[in-house]
Structure formats: C-alpha cells, structure tokens
Amino acid sequence: MAWLDLSTENCTVQRTLDLIGEKWSLLVLRDAMNGVRRFDDFRRHVGMSEAVLADRLRKLVAAGILDTVPYREPGHRTRHEYRLSAKGWDLWPVMIALKQWGDRYTADPEGPPLEVRHRDCDDPLEVVVVCAGDHGPLNPRQAYTRPGASAHTAT
C-alpha cells in the first residue's frame, strides 16, 4: 500500500499535534522543562494572556502531559503548580530536536540564546535517529515507512 492510499484519520503525528502542536503549548512545555511551575511565572515569561494560558494548561493536564500539585503560601488560598508527568518528559527529545533545528537555522549570528549540555562532560546535546538494533545514527535515505498494524485504506 502506498502512502497516498492510506487513511490519515488515525495518524499519530496528527493526534500529537492536536495535543501539543500549537505555539503556546510548546512554549509552556519549554518553560516547564526548564523548571517553571507556577501560573504567574508561565504568564510573565512566555508572555501570553491569562485566558490563553489557562486554556493551554487545562488541555495539557487533561492530556496527562502536565500534573497539578497543590501548594499554599501563608495567607493565601491553595493554588496549583504544573509539573511535567512522565508522559510530558517523554516530549523532551522532541523539544531538543526543535531547539537543535532552530539553533542551526534561526539563531542570532552570535549563536543560540540557550545551550543544553551533558552534566558529566559539558558537551552539547544532539538529537539523532538511531535504529533499534545496533546501527548507530541514520539519515533519511537509510529508513523507509510501511503500513502499521492500525493502517487502513483511505476512503
């Protein structure tokens, strides 16, 4: 079956983009991965309206990408912090890949504004595609696609 013969109704890329493919959601995830936890800090740092932020946080929590953890400062009502769940942290390589692409093609002439480095040796991180076997990094010409178990013909 050729790619154009397959239905995209159950495409996992499309489903993922439905959850996180909007600019503000990705920026919330970026900040969460860098330690931001509180509503006001997200709003101030990302620069979005309260309504948009509340909507994105609600969707990310409903999708199980962020968890809420209650906290209470003395003299104030109970509020919630937002922390990445295991499902949310599984998006870390995606964020590093987006950053890597952006560093290569959109950074200022003097370089990227943020570096992500290996804690043990201080080398920069790099996302690569590898075979589940022991074949090292691959390029697109070394890979192919085929219908998966839930593939069905386009109507």
In one letter, which amino acid is 2?
A: A
Residue 48 contacts residue 55 (beta carbons within 8 Å)? no
Across 25-34, average pLDDT:
97
Residues of the chain with pLDDT > 90: what percent? Answer: 83
Residue 126: pLDDT above 80? yes
Give the per-residue pLDDT at 2: 82
Q: What is the mean pLDDT of the chain?
A: 94
Residue 136: pLDDT above 90? no
For the domain made up of 3-142, give the CATH fold.
Arc Repressor Mutant, subunit A (1.10.10)
Residue 1: pLDDT above 80? no
Give the burial string for 74-106 (b: 16+ CB within 10 Å, else e): eeeeeebbbebeeebeebeeebeeebbeebeee
